[in-house]
Amino acid sequence: MADVNKNVLEEQIKAQGAVVRKLKEEKADAEKISEEVNKLLSLKSLLGLDTKPAKAKGESNKSKENKKQPGDEGPKKFVLKTPKGTRDFAPEQMAIREQVFNKIVACFKRHGAETIDTPVFELKETLTGKYGEDSKLIYDLADQGGELLSLRYDLTVPFARYLAMNKVTNIKRYHIAKVYRRDNPAMNRGRFREFYQCDFDIAGQYDAMLPDTECIKIVVEILSSLDIGDFVVKVNHRKLLDGIFAACGVPDHKFRPICSAVDKLDKTPWEDVRKEMVDEKGLDPNTADKIWEYVQQSGGMDLVERLLKNEILTCEKSAVEGLEDIRLLLSYCEAYGVTNRVSFDLSLARGLDYYTGVIYEAILTGTETAVAAAADEEGSVGVGSVAGGGRYDGLVGMFDSKGRKVPCVGISIGIERLFSIMEAKALASEEKVRTTETEVYVIAAQKGMVEERLKLCKALWDADIKTEQSYKKNTKMLTEFQYCEQNGIPLAIIIGQSEIEAGIVKMKIMASREEREVKRDNMIEEIKKALAPGNSEDTTASICSS
């Protein structure tokens, strides 16, 4: 091993050992300590040091010998379960998910976006220092060959890394993929350790608030298309928040910690947030009370104009810049026709460190919130957001060797929460969810017709018609018709010896029970006519209507 590599490893081992000791002194979570110990052992193994766990204090060789060897106690019962914070999805659930994804992607494409993909894990240093207090939720991986890696926490930081690495300065992209958080999961509230994010971002130097407003328009389009009830998109500005903090007397180095505390107001009472500010983050109580006077306000253009006349606030340059941006944003929202969905809310903070400008969050407010609230076992204030995002002009520069910045703004759809709500709606409606898109089912009218069924299936598949048949040689027609009804298959094609001799097939429309003869040569054309909108039931996988 080269001396330089050995020295680096020794330094890493020393630093990791300090981390382990500190966690033990602080009596940290046992799972966290175990993770850090494993990292230490992994580093030691690279250096060729003994990585066997130390013998417990007071343990004698004799007691060690008396311990049961592996297998002595017999086979252990294996518990079949998914890891904590994850779950499987049944065909009915996947049918709902697929339709939601299709609507979201259609909206992204309608606005001119292209898609990219990035690795599910990144170098640990790529993610470190980008998420503020939430950095503790990053999943770290064991060293597997000299690189310290972590599972991606979101899709925004990998996107910024992608832009810097590939020298991309202008792009409108969407990305739908899984992310991972070592969070306390609340499964029935749509909060998991493994979940999908649906992101839309615009990168590039453009005139103020034009890309930002389009992101809000996209959120409104998507949530309206999913028919999940009334909602509001809250907007605020990080510069305005910083100006408020400065005007209230918050020290500069406490801006981000106090911002993180304010971010909890959507689900935590002010009394608890104030206690965190004062007791945990050392803020002066009077300063905290001044902040409360501002952050409890919400409204529209009238609130912007009122704040621009506030002499204390307008002494802060960042506050004025933030208010001017919000005024322009609201005027563009009016042009887009979404003003009725937008609320300027000073309590909105977004806890992540990388936001630099406009921030927004979509909240359900209508009758559908009852579905989410019913699953809200923790009894928190509100039911949580279903979309959020904002401007992050400095993130790409953190990865560029020369610090070159690429202005960016984007939104992320809280897809798991939407799924939870829509699954609950589907369950409540008791309407059957189609899990396949089969359009035609081929049935034999008598025994010994397997080859003829196969020929029909081939012809239909070649014509790009979604087709199924039984995998049994001989079947009962009644059983086959029942299968069609149970699975929502709109058409059945029936073949028998008499049909073969006459050069026809029988086509049965399952919804109306109508049955008619069709010439074999015209079969494809007649099937497509029957499947055309208005002539048959929609064959796409559908979810329950509201």
Pick the CATH number of 440-544 from 3.10.180.10, 1.10.540.10, 3.40.50.800, 3.30.70.270: 3.40.50.800
CATH class for the domain made up of 3-66: mainly alpha
Rounded to whole angstroms, how far apart are CA atoms 150 and 120?
Answer: 9
Higher-confidence position of 289 and 43: 289
Question: Cα(360)–Cα(198) distance, rounded to whole angstroms?
Answer: 15
Q: Given this model, what pLDDT does residue 74 score?
A: 57
User: Residue 370: is its pLDDT beyond 60?
Assistant: no
- Helix, strand, coil share (%) of the chain residues, nearest 5: 45, 15, 35
* pLDDT at 374 > cutoff 50: no
Q: Quote the CA–CA distance of 41 and 25 in Å, as a whole number.
A: 19
* The pairing of beta strand 514-519 with beta strand 342-345: unpaired
Tell me how far CA of residue 428 lies from CA of 384, 421, 433, 498, 546, in angstroms: 21, 11, 12, 47, 10
- Residue 371: the pLDDT is 47
Cβ proximity of 413 and 104 under 8 Å: yes
- Comparing 110-119, 148-157, 194-203, 378-387, the range with the smallest average pLDDT is 378-387
Q: Are 256 and 132 in contact (CB under 8 A)?
A: yes
List, for residues 135-171, the tens digit of each pLDDT value: 889 999 988 788 999 999 999 999 999 999 999 999 9
Minimum mean pLDDT range among 120-134, 202-216, 362-376, 406-420: 362-376
Q: How far apart are CA 380 and CA 5, in angstroms?
A: 50
In this predicted model, what pLDDT tens digit does every residue of 260-299 receive, in sequence order? 888 888 788 999 999 999 999 999 999 999 999 999 999 9
The answer on pLDDT for 376 being more than 50 is: no
Q: What is the mean pLDDT of the chain?
A: 85
Asked whether residue 65 carries a pLDDT value surpassing 70, the answer given is no
Check residue 32 and give its pLDDT.
76
Confidence at 47, pLDDT banded by 50, 70, 90: low
Instruction: Report whether pLDDT(328) > 90.
Output: yes
Q: Is 436 exposed, middle or buried (0-12, 13-18, 19+ CB in 10 A)?
A: middle
pLDDT of residue 158: 96
The more confidently predicted of residues 474 and 429 is 474
Q: Which of 68-77, 118-127, 480-489, 498-507 has the lowest mean pLDDT?
A: 68-77
Q: What is the pLDDT of residue 342?
A: 97
Fold annotation for 91-428: BirA Bifunctional Protein; domain 2 (3.30.930)
- Nearest to residue 322, comparing CAs of 333, 313, 311? 313
pLDDT over 90, % of the chain: 62
pLDDT tens for 453-471 read 999 999 999 999 999 999 9
Residue 395 or residue 145, greater confidence:
395
- pLDDT for 48: 62
What per-residue confidence (pLDDT) applies to 255?
A: 87
Check pLDDT > 80 for residue 60: no
Quote the CA–CA distance of 465 and 469 in Å, as a whole number. 13
Q: Identify the sign of the CA torsion 425, 431, 436, 438.
A: negative
Note the pLDDT of residue 379. Answer: 36
Q: Calculate mean pLDDT across residues 495-503.
A: 95
pLDDT at 437 (0 to 100): 94
Q: How confident is the model at residue 229 (pLDDT cuts 50, 70, 90)?
A: confident
- Per-residue tokens: 134: 């939430």
The domain segmentation of the chain, as residue ranges, is 3-66, 91-428, 440-544
Inform me whether the pLDDT recorded for 545 exceeds 50. no
DSSP 243-286: HHHHHHT--GGGHHHHHHHHGGGGTS-HHHHHHIIIIIT---HH
Paired with 516 in beta bridges are: 507
Mean pLDDT of 18-29: 77
Give me the pLDDT at residue 426, please: 81
pLDDT at site 384: 64
pLDDT tens profile 171-182? 999 999 999 999
Place of tokens 């029935």: 188
